[in-house]
Structure 1
Amino acid sequence: MMNFNYQNPTHIVFGQDRLQELDQLVPANAKVLVLYGGGSVKKFGTLEKVLAGLGNREVFEFSGIEPNPTFNTLMKAVEIVRAENIDFLLAVGGGSVMDGTKFVAAAAPYEGDEVDLLKAGFAGAPITSAIPLGTVATLPATGSEMNMGAVISHDIGKLPVMSPLLYPQFSILDPSLTFTLPPVQIANGVVDAFVHVLEQYVTYPVDARIQDRMAEGILQTLIEVGPVTLAEPDNYDARANLMWSATSALNGYIGVGVPQDWGTHMIGHELTDLFGLDHAQSLAVVLPSLWKLRKDKKRAKLVQYAERVWDIREGSDDEKVDLAIEKTRDFFESLGVKTRLSQYGVEHNQIENVIKALEAHGMTALSETGDQDLNTSREILEDAYAA
């Protein structure tokens, strides 16, 4: 196991009817900006409950944060924060709203060109201060409610913003708030959480037994409850397990002391940026093909994944790996998430545009060992395209 530091300061408030505790979580004298996306939080009454929970505080609203939140939209929220001297941000929505709110938290006190916060990327954004924030999660998927990262869309690409200052102070996770989500968003959430785990788990062994078994438990839970949440939208227990799985997939715990890949995400971000695929759809397209092309590099963990997650006990190691990849693809498909690039209307000759984008964004040495070059990424996309 590798050396690591771990600290997660986010206070999780989990369970039904926890929104009524909002007044105890936000500082009493705070001037609050509530940020959200489209009209669903209004339509289903979540926003009304949030505003009631904030009591007599001075509250402003900012709506319209898109899926894959954009720099230009978020800068409008930054202007409100600066003009009104906002000192607390509350994200109400899914991962995109939370990610966008984190960027606003970092950008509002920043005195330079806010684009620099994006250009710094994984090297560490130059964030020395941030406005405190909390979240009310309405979509189980990204884990943004309990981590310090965000991904923001800009003309220069989809880029990360990361800082320990961006951990939410608290996150309210009420599974019943997700009952009204359309099936496609639930399916996407299951796939998103599933791949988050796999990016940290299917790399190479370092004898991290606790991390491995926690990862395997999350994967098995998602396999169990994913179909149930689609078939039974009001099943609280299934939705609660899905929600906590999504949070646990990316709150840092299973990723400490182990190598991580994230190559699927980096290619997937380009597919979303260029062709408009949902984030989870892009992951479902890339992952099986990436494993197929790189199974020799990931063999030991793929065999472990086959045996422990899918209970594949018979056959050679090669046969176990191939069947595990097939079962993973079938699982995504069973949720209604297509796994071939051609199924999303992308033309074959557009693959080269993805490679050019990867090169432009410096994504030329991906994988847990940095040996996935552009030629390998091209082969992965070629395989992912096939019908």
Structure 2
Amino acid sequence: MKFSYVNPTVIHFGQGQIEQISHSIPKDSKVLVIYGGGSIKKNGVYDQVVTALKDHQWSEFSGVEANPTKETLDKAIEIVKTENINYLLAVGGGSVIDGTKYVAAASLHDGDSWDLITGKYKPEAALPLGVVLTLPATGSESNMGAVVTKKATQEKLGFLSPTVRPAFAVLDPDAMKTLPERQLINGLVDAWVHVCEQYITSPTGHMVQEGYAEVLLRNLLDLGKAFEQRDDVWRANLMWTANQALNGLIGTGMPQDWATHMIGHQLTALWDVDHARSLAIIQPSLLRSQMEFKKGKIEQMGRNVFGLTDSDDLAERTIQAIEAFYASLDVDTQLSEVQGDKSDAVDAVVKKLEDYGYLKLGENQAISLEVSRQILKQAL
């Protein structure tokens, strides 16, 4: 257990906290507010942001997709450069936040913005950014990661940089009140798999990280069971749990997997599968494939998260409990977007993995292309 940990993002949590924007962004800033399809204009969030920015100079950019594309974000980058924007405010869920991070870093680069993804450009600085979170799921509001899609080539890839960690994030659970059920369910599942990617590796004896991960998983189970109630307390607990799932704490000093994400991203890029649902499709098959390495931790999860009793088949029953959790939320664990024989779909995903150099995935680098193929055959 050896690590350095810091998370400098200031969190303003609770009802009515959007007003904190006015104090969090320097008054002399020239702000670009970035958001998605316009739902924030229907739920009151936009009006609160406008009020909070009444003493600031600001403009807006809308239209960031559910899976933010380079093509759209390049338009925002052009605005930043031509209008000398020096502060960004993301108002939305993980996609808007990820897209804003991309804009924050790429706006200081003279070349193609995609250089940020390929690694040709490694940012040493980025524009400062703040966040108003409207959909809890990704934890992007207080971490240094982002995932972006290049529509022209159907690539969905990410980058990590401490330069794009938000300076502050407003987490007001009231912003969730008008969200469709599907988006809330996706948030639950996304947060669940984020914890799993940092937890289901091998037992480490790290009591804080493992114990806290188990608490978060139990939270999400309980929130799933109480999905129909969705009162103020439910919303607040989901918003805070999803943040803690990927703010860096539970993964600190821990082995991490992320193969489910690497494979799942390809389902989103190729067939526009919801991100969270792509993870639910891949995860159970991947866990069974990696039982040799993960059995001890899967069994620990069975005991400490699901309350299962010890048995020779405890690991398999735990995976079945994960599948039952997805089923309880009506989340498909099959690729329904592709009908009939899915051999071509498997080939397409494996080809993407090969193109990206994802030849050895997982915490043990044991998921080769052939293993990925077998996982996909079982999953799809």
TM-score range, shorter chain: over 0.9
Match of 1:278? 274
Is 247-256 or 104-113 further displaced after alignment? 104-113
Aligned counterparts of 2:377 and 2:257: Cα–Cα separation in 1? 20
Tell me which residue corresponds to 1:81: 80
Amino acid at match of 1:293: S
TM-score normalised over the length of structure 2:
0.97
**Shift in alpha-carbon separation, 1:191–1:344, aligned structure 2, 3 A:** farther
1:320 corresponds in structure 2 to: 314
Paired residue secondary structure (2:292): coil
Deviations 1:101-130 (A, max 9, x none): 000000111123322101029xxx600110
1:341 is aligned to: 335
In structure 2, runs of 5+ residues without a counterpart are: none
**Where do 1:169-188 residues align within 5 Å?**
169-188=167-186
- Say yes or no: does 1:126 pair with 2:122: yes
3-state DSSP of counterpart to 1:172: strand
CA distance in 2, matches of 1:51, 1:246: 26
Measure, in 1, the Cα distance between the counterparts of 2:356 and 2:324: 32
| 1:24-51 deviation line (CA, Å, top 9, x unaligned) | 1111111110000002011222111101
Aligned to 1:308: 304
Deviation at 1:232, TM superposition (A): 2.2
**Partners of 1:200 and 1:339 in 2: CA distance:** 21
Equivalent position amino acid for 2:323 in 1:
R
SS at match of 2:33: strand
Unaligned runs of 5+ in 1: none
Deviations 1:289-313 (A, max 9, x none): 1011111210110110111001111
SS in structure 2 at match of 1:12: strand
CA-CA distance at 1:345 after TM superposition: 3.8
Equivalent of 2:217, from 210, 216, 219?
219
**Residue by residue, what CA displacement relative to the aligned partner does 1:215-241 show, whole Å, maximum 9, x if unpaired?**
00000000001232x3123x0111111
Deviation at 1:314, TM superposition (A): 3.4
Q: Does 1:357 align with 2:355?
A: no
Which residue is 1:200 aligned to?
Answer: 198
- Helix, strand or coil: the match of 2:147? strand
Aligned counterpart, 1:98 = 97
Q: Which residue of 2 aligns with 1:19?
A: 18
Structure 1 CA distance for aligned equivalents of residues 138 and 89 of structure 2 = 17
- 1:205 deviates by 2.0
SS of structure 2 residue aligned to 1:366: coil
Q: C-alpha separation between the residues in 2 aligned to 1:197 and 1:321?
A: 18
Bigger shift: 38-47 or 190-199? 38-47
Partner of 2:136: 140
Other structure's SS at 2:11 match = strand
CA 1:135/1:376 → structure 2, altered by over 3 Å: closer, same or farther?
A: same
Amino acid at match of 2:266: E
State whether residues 88 and 130 of structure 2, in contact with CA within 8 Å, keep that contact through their aligned partners in structure 1. yes
Contact 2:154 2:270 in 1 (8 A): no
Q: Identity rate of aligned residues, in percent?
A: 46
Q: Decide whether the 8 Å contact of 1:342 with 1:348 is kept in 2.
A: no
1:114 and 2:110 correspond: no
Summarize deviations over 1:248-285 as a string: whole Å, max 9, x none: 00000000111000000000000111111000010000
- Decide which of 234, 240, 250 is 1:254's aligned counterpart: 250
* Aligned residue pair count: 377
Which letter does structure 2 place at the counterpart of 1:304?
Answer: Q
| Distance of aligned partners of 1:307 and 1:377 in 2 relative to their CA distance in 1, 3 Å threshold | same
C-alpha contact (below 8 Å) 1:226/1:242 kept by paired residues: no
The one-character-per-residue Cα deviations of 1:350-381 (angstroms, maximum 9, x if unpaired) are 21111111101111100001111011111111
On the 8 A contact 2:145/2:159 being kept in 1, the answer is: yes
Q: Paired residue for 1:239? A: 235
> Aligned pair 1:37/2:32, yes or no?
no
Moved more, 292-301 or 282-291: 292-301
- Tell me, yes or no, if the aligned pair for 1:157 and 1:361 is still in contact at 8 Å: no
CA contact (8 A) 2:326 2:332 kept: yes
Partners of 2:347 and 2:81 in 1: CA distance: 42
Match of 2:374 in 1: 379
Q: Contact between 2:154 and 2:269, CA under 8 Å: does it hold in 1?
A: no
Q: Which residue of 2 aligns with 1:55?
A: 54
Deviation of residue 206 (structure 1)?
A: 2.2
| CA distance in 1 between partners of 2:275 and 2:340 (Å) | 15
SS in 2 for 1:297: helix
Check 1:49–1:378 CA distance in 2 against 1; reply closer, same or farther (3 A cut): same
1:346 Cα deviation after fit: 7.1
